Amino acid sequence: MSENFNIDDVSNLASIELSEDEKAKLQKDLQIILEHVEALKNVDIKDEKIDIHPLSKVLELRKDESKESLKHEDAMMNSPETKDGHFVVPPSIE
């Protein structure tokens, strides 16, 4: 895994632009994290109960009842640009 690690791919997926200096620093830091993960793989856990979530609390479910939403004006108030009740953003084509 660690040899395939590419800082450019990760910054691209995270939409974060990095300078060459930042890339070099993060490449090093993230590489260390990946080595820690590699080390964890060597721990023998076959007799351990699997905790699949960091919290031990159990999910509470909500009754399916609708409640009043935000007022339209309030929902739109922080938007830099609106049109016909929509939020306007730069053209985004997949």
Note the residues at the interface with another protein (CB under 8 A).
13, 15, 52-67, 69-70, 72, 75-76, 83-94
CB of 27 to another protein, least distance (A): 17
CB of 28 to another protein, least distance (A): 20
CB of 29 to another protein, least distance (A): 17
88 in Cβ contact with 81 (< 8 Å) = yes
Select 25 or 86, whichever has its Cβ closest to another protein.
86
Q: How far is CA 51 from CA 28, 54, 89, 94, in A?
A: 30, 7, 41, 37
Select 20 or 64, whichever has its Cβ closest to another protein.
64
Nearest 5°: the CA angle 41, 6, 11 is 110
Select 24 or 77, whichever has its Cβ closest to another protein.
77
14 in Cβ contact with 43 (< 8 Å) = no
Helix, coil or strand: residue 81: coil
CB of 58 to another protein, least distance (A): 5
